[in-house]
Amino acid sequence: MASSSEQELRGMFECQVCGLTVPYSYVGQKPPNSRTVVLLEECYVLKDPFSSDKDRFLILGSQCSLCSKLVCVGPECSLFYSKRFCLPCVRENLSAFPQEIQQDVEKRYALSKTGSRKLDSRT
């Protein structure tokens, strides 16, 4: 019973920015059993491992629409603004984005810097 609910793993998703490596079970815009939800980009998807609901999915990442790198959806790696952009690309083309995105990217950058410093002090 349990085994049928487990989706076949298709391979490993690896973020080309942060190196996060996670197995994925689907690529596309209509995850299996996703019912009335569709994705607005081609995503690497995994059954949500933190939910007991077997139909819940988790988006891992997708391709940057500018550089085509595979990136995870983590805030340090990419953002979505009608399309997926990796953060390096966003920063390169920062002026092309609206004010709100620009501010957000700056905030993320500052945060990630303090975050990594915190990590350094631990070890």
Partner 1 sequence: MLSKRAEDGGCWEPEGCGQWDWGCPETRSRLEEVFFGDQDVIRRGSEDCRRFWAFFERLQTFRKPKPGPEAERPPEGPRCPALADLPATYDPRYRINLALLSGDGEPGPGPRGAHGRLPRDRLAEFRRAVLHYLDFGQKQSFGKLAKLQRERAALPMARYRQHLLQALREHQVVVVAGDTGCGKSTQVPQYLLAAGFSHVACTQPRRIACISLAKRVGFESLNQYGSQVGYQIRFESTRSPATRIVFLTEGLLLRQIQREPGLPQYQVLIVDEVHERHLHSDFLLGVLRRLLPARPDLKLVLMSATINIGLFSGYFSHAPVVQVPGRLFPITVIYQPIPKEEVPTSKVERLDPRPFLRVLQAIDRKYPPEERGDLLVFLSGMAEISAVLEAFQPYAAHTKRWVVLPLHSALSITDQDKVFDVPPPGVRKCILSTNIAETSVTIDGVRFVLDSGKVKEMSFDPKAKLQRLQEFWISRASAEQRKGRAGRTGPGVCYRLYAESDYDAFAPYPVPEIQRVALDALVLQMKSMGLGDPRSFPFIEPPPAASLETAIIYLQDQGALDASEHLTPIGTLLSQLPVDVVIGKILILGCMFDLVEPVLTMAAALSVQSPFVRSAQSDVECGTARKPLESDHGDPFTLLNAFNAWVQVKSDRSANSRKWCRRRGLEEHRMYEIANLRQQFKGLLQDHGLLAKARVVTGDSYSRQQRHRQRQELYQLKRRHEEGEGRKRKVLRLEALEGGSSSGEEAEVSGSQAGDGTHHVDIQDVKFKLRHDVDQLQAAASSAQDLSRDQLALLKLVLGRGLYPQLAAPDQYNSCRKDSDQFFHTQSKQGAVLHPTCVFANNPDLLQGGQAEAQKNQGPLSDRRDGSSSQHQLLAFVSLLETNKPYLVNCVRLPALQALLLFSRSLDTDGDCSRLVADGWLQLQLEGSEGAVRILSAALRLRARWEEALDRQLARQAWPRGEDGAATAPKTERKAAAALGRDLLDFMRSKVSYSIHRLTALEAQNLYVGPQTITAAPQLPGLFGEAALTPHETKGGYAVTSFLTYNCLTSDADLYSACLRTFWSCPHCGFYMPLTPLERMSHESSCPAAPDGDAHGASEEEEATSGRQASTLRRAYHCEICQKDLLLTPTEILRHRRLHV
Which residue, chain included where needed, has tokens 């995503």? 43
Q: Tell me whether residue 70 or residue 72 sits nearer to partner 1 (CB atom).
A: 72
Which residue, chain included where needed, has tokens 């631990």? 122
Contact between 18 and Zn ion per CB under 5 A: yes
Only one of the segments 23-31, 39-47, 79-87, 95-103 lies at the binding site for Zn ion (rule: CB under 5 A); that segment is 79-87
Q: What is the dihedral sign for C-alpha 67, 13, 30, 85?
A: negative
Which residue, chain included where needed, has tokens 């569709």? 38
Contact between 117 and partner 1 per CB under 8 A: no
Contacts with partner 1 by CB under 8 A: the residue count is: 50
The amino acid that residue 8 corresponds to is: E
Only one of the segments 38-46, 69-77, 91-99, 103-111 lies at the binding site for Zn ion (rule: CB under 5 A); that segment is 69-77
